[in-house]
Structure 1
Amino acid sequence: MKVIPAIDLMNGQVVRLYKGDPKQKTVYSDNPVEVAKKWEANGADMLHLVDLDATLGIGSNLPIIKKILDQISIPIQVAGGLRDESTITDVSKICHRIVLGTLAFKDKSILQKLLVNLGSKKIVISVDHLDGEIVTHGWQNQTKIKLIDAMKEFLSIGFSEFLLTNISKDGTLEGPDLEFLSQACQLNNAHVIASGGISNIKDVQNVKQQNAFGVILGKALYENKISIQEAKQIV
């Protein structure tokens, strides 16, 4: 299982939000590049960069993301606001993987084209949900689409990489959502990264037991409740 620190970017700073709410923001650093270097030096398998400004449609941290990509050698996946073909194609050229959420549910024709052009391993489908129902547009829009049904459809199209977040857990340190993670990981050919709620090493163990492909470390990492080295020993 991959250990993947998250670097959430807002207004050029490294932040964490509580349940995705921009009004409940904690700033952890004004230097995202140094944070990325720190997590790489500590043994991270991959980094998960999220442009929250792009997600919310209020700006872009792409210049900072490019700086990080220039100075980091481990794989990096980029998420947040990737909703048009041109931007996605440009970003895909400079990072290991791109994470698509809103577009994946809004425009299946562009998604199919990207699948052909980039390949399934380059694209991670972000299946953000609230109690088993998909949410999009920076978690602002509830779709009524069932999580597992959505994943089955993406698998049938040819996708295999997923980022699974129960938004009621994100930034809470209340422990991961093992119920839906277990269901998702049991789907054939689904490689699932678990995100949200990790608070201690036991949570990492529990995620590993579900056969997840990876685990995102966020708030617990920034508040020194867990270290990358501890997580690596478990996985």
Structure 2
Amino acid sequence: MMVMPAVDIMGGSVVRLVRGDPANKVVYSGDPAETAKKWEAAGADMLHVVDLDAALGTGSDNSAAIEKIISSVKVPVELAGGIRSYDSAKKALDKAARVVIGTMAYSDPDSVRKLAKKHPGRIVISIDQSGGKVMVKGWQESSGVPVADAISQFSAMGIEDYLLTSIERDGTLAGPDVATLAEAVKSGARIIASGGVASVEDAIRVKSAGCAAVILGKALYDGRVSVERVKAVA
């Protein structure tokens, strides 16, 4: 299981939101590249970098901060947040090892199919779920698509990697939604677990559910877990 620290960027700073709410924000660092290097030195397998301003449409441009991260580390960077057109996905793929596509996957599946064919293994579908249904547009709207149906739809396009976030748990340290993760793993897809991991024991539960990777967020920044300790059980 890969260990992937999250570097969420808003207004050029590293932040964490609770349940994706920009009004419920904690700022951890004003230097995203230094944060990225810290997690790389700790043994991260990949970095999960999120442009929250792009995801939420708040207007701030974090492209310079993201490019500095990518040029500062040797580990692969997975880029997420606001990638809602074929052209923006292509630009992101010019920089990052992988891109995470959420809203566009459900509004423009034909473009996702083209991207998956042209860039095999580099497209990750974001499944941000609440009540078993996929949420889009920065978690603000329901797509009405059940989780299992989403995985089935995009697996048919040859996409193997899925970032599964249980929104109610994100940033809450309430523990991962193991039941939903385990059910998603049964599809045969590679599932990246995100949301609620608060301890090494939670990471063990995610691994036991069969997930291919775990994202570390608030618990990592609050010192409840370390990359090194999670790597030891991963």
TM-score range (shorter-chain normalised) is over 0.9
The one-letter amino acid paired with 1:45 is: D
The one-letter amino acid paired with 1:215 is: V
Cα deviation, residue 12, structure 1: 0.3
Normalising to structure 2: TM-score of the pair? Answer: 0.98
Pairwise mapping of residues 201-220 of structure 1 onto structure 2 (< 5 A)?
Answer: 201-220=200-219
Cα deviation, residue 16, structure 1: 0.3
Aligned to 1:147: 147
Pairing 1:31–2:39 present: no
Pairwise mapping of residues 42-191 of structure 1 onto structure 2 (< 5 A)?
Answer: 42-59=42-59, 60-119=61-120, 121-188=121-188, 190-191=189-190
The one-letter amino acid paired with 1:221 is: L
Aligned to 1:20: 20
The one-letter amino acid paired with 1:81 is: G
Aligned to 2:199: 200
Q: Tell me the secondary structure at the aligned position of residue 172 of structure 2.
A: coil
Map Cα deviations across residues 135-155 of structure 1 (whole Å, 9 max, x no partner).
Answer: 000000012210111111111
The one-letter amino acid paired with 2:37 is: K
The CA RMSD over aligned residues, in Å, is 0.7
* Alignment gaps of 5+ in structure 1: none
Cα deviation, residue 157, structure 1: 1.9
Runs of 4+ off more than 2 Å: none
Equivalent-residue separation in structure 2 for 1:157 and 1:46 (angstroms): 24
Equivalent-residue separation in structure 1 for 2:67 and 2:98 (angstroms): 14
Q: Tell me the secondary structure at the aligned position of residue 88 of structure 2.
A: helix
Cα deviation, residue 172, structure 1: 0.1
Cα deviation, residue 205, structure 1: 0.3
The one-letter amino acid paired with 2:35 is: V
Equivalent-residue separation in structure 2 for 1:51 and 1:134 (angstroms): 20
Equivalent-residue separation in structure 2 for 1:161 and 1:129 (angstroms): 16
Which piece of structure 1 moves more, 214-223 or 78-87? 78-87
- Contact kept in structure 1, 2:20 and 2:170, CA below 8 Å: yes
The one-letter amino acid paired with 1:106 is: S
Cα deviation, residue 207, structure 1: 0.2
What is the aligned-residue identity percentage? 44
